[in-house]
Amino acid sequence: MKTGSLLQATVLIGAIALATASFAQKKYDPGATDTEIKIGSIMPYSGPASAYGQIGKLHMAYFQKINDEGGINGRKIKLLSVDDGYSPPKAVEMARRLVEQDEVLFIFQSLGTPSNSAIHKYMNAKKVPHLFVATGATKWGDPKDFPWTMGWQPNYQTEGRIYAKDILATRPNAKIAVLYQNDDYGKDLLKGLKDGLGDKAGRLIVAEATYEVSDPTVDSQIVSLKGSGADVLINIATPKFAALAIRKVHDIGWKPVHYLNNVSASVGSVLVPAGLDKSVGLITVAYQKDALDTQWANDPGMKEFVAFMAKYLPDGKLSDALNAYGYSVAQTLVQVFKQCGNDLTRANIMRQAASLKDFQLPLLLPGIKINTSPTDFYPIESLQLQRFDGKQWVLFGKVIE
């Protein structure tokens, strides 16, 4: 009898302890349960920017891998990835559907500056995390006014400032011509460039030309820019237009120092169409390892990525840098989940996303780390310059903050 009551008491205390423990730890907002974390994503699977839809496909594949390995803390990740066709009104419709009807925990990597701008206020009014948005605009790192939105990749202004630094260091008397897409993205990068050049901007920039995404070619713009007598060209264009510009610059016999923005640094989808021989000497910034670059052939992180691609996304091309990008972002999210533990509330998701410390990813260049804080919503802020040698990008210089 005595032993019996002791046993009973132990069991009872144990049960109470367990119950309170789980009560203290497990906290959920809509979308999270003991077995599943449901998140949403908005991608341009159709429409003019549909090349980026590849990122969404990669996320699906990566979370499949995580789920096959047992999920995170026993929870499977369910990603509802929907198509907005790169159309802002459609993005609003999709965000509302994901938040109000599907009740996802948060929206992850919604793509495109226009689409994200359209849902920016909605997400913050609803207090639903709008996490690691897939755009390089600078406005996503504003924790004071928009505490529920965070970007991921280096923003365009940082990139523009780095080009400015390099120009000032290597050719202080450059005559700069700028080709840019006539929208927020183009103007954002241009602003970074001008900020970086400081009071010299007015003197050094001798010509600017814009294009619209509906323009068939940028031939006329390139001819105008060449006519300005510039010896440095800053190419702020999306893949197709970047390729058109690279080819035209070569064909009209212009030989400027040609900076190409990172958005279009893909060898497979930009430089190959433009012509590899015409791309020699291009300069861009990088923060990711290039899967085609032989110097990473024996890199453990790269090997893991190649194996992952072969198993989970066999029809995705390694040459497409968007795959490596999606892979790294998905890994960052997994880290956030790990840090969250059993507290899967929306507030904690943002808290943990804003406390990534010196987090390193297998596909980021050595020396580039992810750092966030409650006042720093820019995960990646350092970049390294690289030059195209006709076959691949070759890094040079140091990692620049």
Partner 1 sequence: MDAFIAQVLSGLVTGGIYASVALALVMIYQATHLVNFAQGELAMFCTYLAWTMLDAGFPYWAAFAATIALAFVCGVVIERVVIRPIGESSVLAVVVVFIGLLVIFNSLAGWIFTYTVKPFPSPFPAEPLFGNHYVSSHGIGAIGVTLVVLALLYAFFRFTSLGLAMRAAAQNPVSARLVGIRVGWTRALGWGLAAAVGSIAGMMVAPTVYLDPNMMAGILLYAFAAALVGGIDNPWGAVAGGFLVGVLENLLGAYVIGTELKLTVALVLIVGVLVIRPSGLFGRVTVKRV
d(CA 137, CA 221): 24
Q: According to the binding rule CB under 8 A, does residue 114 interact with partner 1?
A: no
HEC secondary structure over 7-74: HHHHHHHHHHHHHHHHHHHCEECCCECCCEEEEEEEECCCCCCHHHHHHHHHHHHHHHHHHHCCCECC
Q: Which of 58, 84, 91 is nearest to 326 (CA)?
A: 58
Q: How far is the CB of 316 from partner 1 (least distance, A)?
A: 10
Q: Does 230 bind partner 1 (CB under 8 A)?
A: no
Count residues binding partner 1 (CB under 8 A): 36
Distance CA 115, CA 46 (A): 14
Q: According to CB under 8 A, which one of 59, 120, 240, 289 is a site residue for partner 1?
A: 240
Tell me if 245 sits within 8 A of 347, measured CB to CB.
no
Can you read off the two tokens belonging to residue 122? 């909605």
User: 182, 295, 360, 373: which one contacts partner 1 (CB under 8 A)?
Assistant: 182
Residue 215 or 231: the one with the smaller Cβ distance to partner 1 is 215
Both tokens of 196, joined, read 């970086």
Picking from 62, 108, 57, 54, the residue whose alpha carbon sits closest to that of residue 331 is: 62
Tell me which residues in 320-379 interact with partner 1 (CB under 8 A): 320
Least distance from partner 1 to the Cβ atom of residue 227, Å: 3
What distance in Å separates the CA atoms of residue 47 and residue 90, rounded to the nearest whole number? 12
Applying CB under 8 A, the span of 96-104, 156-164, 235-243, 355-363 interacting with partner 1 comes to 235-243
Q: Which of 232, 243, 263, 368 binds partner 1 (CB under 8 A)?
A: 243
Show the tokens assigned to 301: 């992180």
CB closer to partner 1, 60 vs 399: 60
CB of 86 to partner 1, least distance (A): 10
User: Nearest approach, Cβ of 94 to partner 1 (angstroms)?
Assistant: 17
Could you give the maximum distance between any two Cα atoms of the chain, in Å?
101
Nearest distance, CB of residue 238 and partner 1, angstroms: 10
Angle in degrees, CA 154, 287, 137, rounded to 5: 15
Q: Smallest distance from the beta carbon of 241 to partner 1, in angstroms?
A: 10
* Residues of span 14-53 touching partner 1 by CB under 8 A: 46-48, 50-51, 53
CB of 223 to partner 1, least distance (A): 4
Residue 72 is given by DSSP the state B
Q: At 215, is the secondary structure helix, strand, or coil? A: coil
Residues 183-222 that bind partner 1 (CB under 8 A): 209-217, 219-221
**CB count, 10 Å around CB of 83?**
18
Task: With beta carbons less than 8 A apart as the criterion, state whether 221 and 204 touch.
Answer: no
Strands 76-83 and 27-28: unpaired
Residue 227 binding partner 1, by CB under 8 A: yes
Q: Report the nearest approach of partner 1 to the CB of residue 48 (Å).
A: 5
Compare residues 83 and 166 and give the one whose CB is closer to partner 1: 83
Residues that bind partner 1 in the complex, under the rule CB under 8 A: 46-48, 50-51, 53, 182, 209-217, 219-221, 223-224, 226-227, 239-240, 243-244, 251-253, 268-270, 272-273, 320
